[in-house]
Amino acid sequence: MKDKDIRLVALDLDGTTLNDYGEISERTMEAFRRAMEQGIHIVICTGRTFQSLPEQLFHIEGLEYVVTSNGAKITRLADRETVYENNVGAKAVMEIAEILRPTGYSLEVFVNGGAYIAKEEYEEYQTIGSTFRDIGYVLSTRKPVPEFFDFIRTHRDGIENINISFPHMEDREILMKMLAPVENVTLTSSFIHNIEVGGATTSKAEALRYLMRELHLSSGQLMAVGDSLNDLEMIRLAEIGVVMANASDEMKRYGDYVTDTNGEDGVAKAMERFAIK
């Protein structure tokens, strides 16, 4: 596959491009530099909101675009301009809010690049922590708001993503059944203890289709690397779909190639193997 003409490399962040310290390694940064020197576009495609992106990204010379909220938004980094949006419909947002309000499940909404959580839930995390979430990440990236469901109602026309977290694996099936009647949404996940709700056509793959049209590229020139269910559609779309060694066995079945883990420069090794001449 080295003879493929890869012109765009789409990369998930957590569990993929970021190592176990939440950083992009020197080898991966060097792979970025070499690829961009050859005219290859590097596009970060993450479930994170724009405001939750690591600071290191904003210092990578030549990085043009970032796809956030699982494909709900594309931002041009040069001027921080939003060039594409694909949000959850307002009707679906309110249906989901009504379904989940009495359940007690952890709920967050992504709005205008930020991630918001109920003030009382945020304070509970501060006090007692969590057995199933990265509390440091939650407390540093989530914004607590009072009257959370009023906040959802007010912002129902601009919600990029709804994130539902749960402590037990059996909760996944319960939640999927609860959400099944809601129309015009997509359901995905970035780790085993959550479900992420996007718009009817929201995905990293759909956002990449938009970018490829803008850049006059085809999926035959795309390489995508990821580790979780929310990466699946872009991995399927790509000419070369790469899955991380730290991904689940199920995800590995969908890749054209399995690279090393995120702690072993898996992204850099895949780029060196398939994209960088």
What distance in Å separates the CA atoms of residue 13 and residue 97, rounded to the nearest whole number? 28
Q: Tell me what pLDDT residue 4 has.
A: 84
The amino acid sitting at 158 is G
Q: Please list, in sequence order, all residues whose beta carbon lies within 8 angstroms of the beta carbon of residue 160, skipping any fewer than 6 positions away.
A: 49, 68, 69, 72, 73, 85, 87, 88, 110, 111, 198
Q: Tell me what pLDDT residue 3 has.
A: 72
Q: Please list, in sequence order, all residues whose beta carbon lies within 8 angstroms of the beta carbon of residue 273, skipping any fewer than 6 positions away.
A: 1, 2, 257, 259
User: Taking the model in full, what pTM does it have?
Assistant: 0.96
β-pairing, 185-188 vs 222-226, is unpaired
Write down all domains in the chain, each with its CATH number in brackets: 8-85+203-274 (3.40.50.1000), 90-199 (3.30.1240.10)
> In this predicted model, what pLDDT tens digit does every residue of 61-90 receive, in sequence order?
999 999 999 999 999 999 999 999 999 999
> In this predicted model, what pLDDT tens digit does every residue of 178-192 receive, in sequence order?
999 999 999 999 999
Per-residue pLDDT band for 145 (boundaries 50, 70, 90) equals very high
Mean of pLDDT values over 125-137: 94
Q: Tell me what pLDDT residue 266 has.
A: 98
Query: Alpha helix locations (H) across 40-192?
Result: 90-100, 119-128, 135-141, 148-154, 170-179
Mean pLDDT for the chain overall: 97
Q: Tell me what pLDDT residue 2 has.
A: 64
> In this predicted model, what pLDDT tens digit does every residue of 34-56 receive, in sequence order?
999 999 999 999 999 999 999 99
Mean of pLDDT values over 16-25: 97
Q: Please list, in sequence order, all residues whose beta carbon lies within 8 angstroms of the beta carbon of residue 101, skipping any fewer than 6 positions away.
A: 149
What distance in Å separates the CA atoms of residue 26 and residue 237, rounded to the nearest whole number? 28
> In this predicted model, what pLDDT tens digit does every residue of 217-261 receive, in sequence order?
999 999 999 999 999 999 999 999 999 999 999 999 999 999 999
Q: Tell me what pLDDT residue 1 has.
A: 59
% of the chain at pLDDT higher than 70 = 99
Q: How many C-beta atoms lie closer than 10 Å to residue 119's C-beta? A: 15
> In this predicted model, what pLDDT tens digit does every residue of 159-178 receive, in sequence order?
999 999 999 999 999 999 99
